[in-house]
Amino acid sequence: MTATLESTSPQAPSDVIATVPEMSADDVRAAYARAKEAARSWATGTATSRSVALDTCATALARASDEMAELVVREVGKPLTEARGEVARGIAILRYYAQLALLPEGDVIPSADGVSLLHTRRKPHGVAGLITPWNFPVAIPLWKAAPALAFGNTVLLKPAEESPACALRLAEIFSSAFPEGVFQVVTGGGEAGAAVISVADVVSFTGSTAVGASIRKAAAERGIPAQCEMGGQNASIVLPDADLAVAARVIAGAAMGYAGQKCTATSRVIVVGGQSAADAFAEQLGAAVAALSYGDPASADTVVGPVINSDARSAVVSSVSAAVSAGGVAVTGGTAGDSEGWYVSPAVVSRLAADDRLLREEVFGPVCAVVAASDADDAVRITNSVPYGLVAAVFTDSLGSALKLVPQLEVGMAKVNAPTSGVDYFAPFGGDKDSSYGPREQGTAARDFYTKTMTVTFAP
Residues known to be catalytic: 229, 263
Which residue, 136 or 178, is less far from ligand UN1 as judged by CB?
136
Q: What residues contact residue 160 under an 8 Å CB cut-off, 6+ apart?
A: 132, 133, 134, 137, 207
DSSP-derived secondary structure letter, 34: H
Q: How far is the CB of 235 from ligand UN1 (least distance, A)?
A: 15
Task: Compute the residue count for the chain.
Answer: 460
Contact 292, 346 (CB under 8 A): yes
Contact by Cβ (8 Å): 355, 374: no
408-412 LR contacts (CB < 8 Å, sep 24+) = 408/380, 408/384, 409/380, 409/383, 409/384, 410/383, 410/384, 411/234, 411/383, 411/435, 412/436, 412/440
Between CA 88 and CA 389 the distance in angstroms is 28
Distance CA 54, CA 17 (A): 27
Q: How far is the CB of 178 from ligand UN1 (least distance, A)?
A: 25
Residues 6+ apart with CB under 8 A from 144: 128, 130, 132, 157, 204, 206, 441
Instruction: Please give the helix or strand (H or E) that residue 155 lies within, else none.
Output: strand 154-159
Per DSSP, the three-state class of 163 is coil
d(Cα 415, Cα 237) in Å, to the nearest integer?
10
Residue 296 C-beta: closest distance to ligand UN1, Å: 22
Cα 342 from chain centroid (whole Å)? 22
Contact residues toward ligand UN1 (CB under 6 A) are: 133, 135-136, 206, 229, 262-264, 421-423
Q: Terminal CA-to-CA distance of the chain, rounded, Å?
A: 63
Q: Pick the closer one to ligand UN1 by CB: 264 or 332.
A: 264
- Using the minimum distance from each CB to ligand UN1, give the nearer residue, 158 or 351: 158
Q: Which is nearer to ligand UN1, 352 or 393 (CB)?
A: 393
At its nearest, how many Å lie between ligand UN1 and the CB of residue 390?
8
Q: C-beta of 267: minimal distance to ligand UN1 in Å? A: 12
Min CB(129)–ligand UN1 separation in Å: 17
* Calpha distance 299→70 (Å, rounded): 11
Nearer residue to ligand UN1 within complex by CB, 136 or 342: 136
